[in-house]
Amino acid sequence: MKILCCDTSTPTAYLFLGEYQEDHLLWYESTAVVWNNTHSEQLLDRLLRMCADHNVALSDLDLLGATSGPGSFTGLRIALATMKGLAMGLKAPLVSTPTLELYQNLATIIGGPCLVAIDAKKQRYYTAFFVDGSQVGQSSDLSADEIDALLAPYEQITLIGSDGPKLASQLNHLGITIVDPSLLDVGVELADRVRKHYLERGADSLDQGPTYIRKSDAERALEES
């Protein structure tokens, strides 16, 4: 099974192209690129070049994948629109997976309470809280004060995510360890989750959209007008 997938929910884009034989990953390219919010200009060209570099024709792709959110409103739409376009043109299945859950295996390895955080702007963070690898509650959109309250019962906390240092500087909690997400190959983790989801539950409907925890500025402005 040849899989092409991407995550553009943050300023860092994670891209993957590889081939599975049953549960074994035969070969792959997984890369992280900081595009400074130019995903719309770079994504499709980079994915096509990855395929060309590995002599993979688009018609050879068996499965496409992307993250569904939360994350950048624009970034999520770019990834899903790109992959939906490819899926429709190639008649290939598409699977999306929640962004914050990509780090669940890393939280399992670390153990104890782990908070995955993505900067949601406006002094807020998209968060998922794990204890020994099991998610507690739902992914949320929280302020630093709300995160402090969430973490208060725990003496030691691990923060996972590229925005961990920024968040830690805004918290009053003293027992914080920051883990660089580069310890996890996000591209491979995304591909593994996309493949597992497809084998267990099938493909997404092509009218399925991103997962938004809060409304976009445009939606709020429309409601207020």
Domain ranges of the chain: 2-99+184-224, 101-182
User: Quick check: do 2-99+184-224 and 101-182 share a fold?
Assistant: yes
In this prediction, residue 216 has a pLDDT band, given cuts at 50, 70 and 90, of low
CATH superfamily of 101-182: ATPase, nucleotide binding domain (3.30.420.40)
- CA-CA distances (angstroms) from residue 87 to 92, 174, 204? 5, 47, 11
- Read off the pLDDT of residues 133-144 as tens digits, 9 standing for 90 and up: 999 999 999 999
For residue 24, what is the DSSP state? E
CA distance 118 to 101: 12
Once rounded to an integer, what is the mean pLDDT over residues 30-38? Answer: 85
Question: What share of the chain has pLDDT > 70, as a percent?
Answer: 95
- The pLDDT, as a whole number, for residue 53 is 98
Check whether domain 2-99+184-224 has CATH 3.40.50.2300, yes or no: no
Place of tokens 């990509």: 102
**pLDDT tens readout for residues 75-92:** 999 999 999 999 999 999
Residue 217 confidence (pLDDT) = 59
What pTM value is reported for the model? Answer: 0.91
